[in-house]
Structure 1
Amino acid sequence: MIPTAPAPAPARAAFSRRELEVLELLVEGASYAAIARRLELSPHTVDTYLRRIRAKTGATNQIQLTLLACRVHGLPTAA
């Protein structure tokens, strides 16, 4: 079964500054561990930010999070 795309991204204001930073690094292809190192956080904290983002958007997997990150940061995505 092909997962459905999450709902359209909420306005940038719906995300905290840190959530936006995590999304930006995610769209660059960074792993959770790499995001944690770059932002000087624990991997658990990165996971917490991503869980909050999933709760706000309905994203259920890594692909949906990446597509969401592209939309939030104004990057093109495939149709």
Structure 2
Amino acid sequence: MSNLPKIAWIGLGIMGSPMAENLLKAGYSVTGFTLEQDKLDRLAAAGGGAAGSIADAVKDADVIITMVPASPQVEAISYG
């Protein structure tokens, strides 16, 4: 069992997907959420977990990373 923190990754776009995949390659457990099913499939194919909601992605996480376009999206993730 790894002592590395479990990571929740919210936003698997052009920057988020490769960054999450690099964490998987480094041995981290990464569960992600995004609105695009193909991006969730890509994460799962790389060995990550594809969550059906933000709540599912973060429920067991030690670290939460958001990679979304701007402040309104960060606020929606955090408060909505």
TM-score by length of 1: 0.30
Q: Which has the higher helix share?
A: 1
TM-score (norm 2): 0.30
Whichever structure has more strand as a proportion of its residues is 2
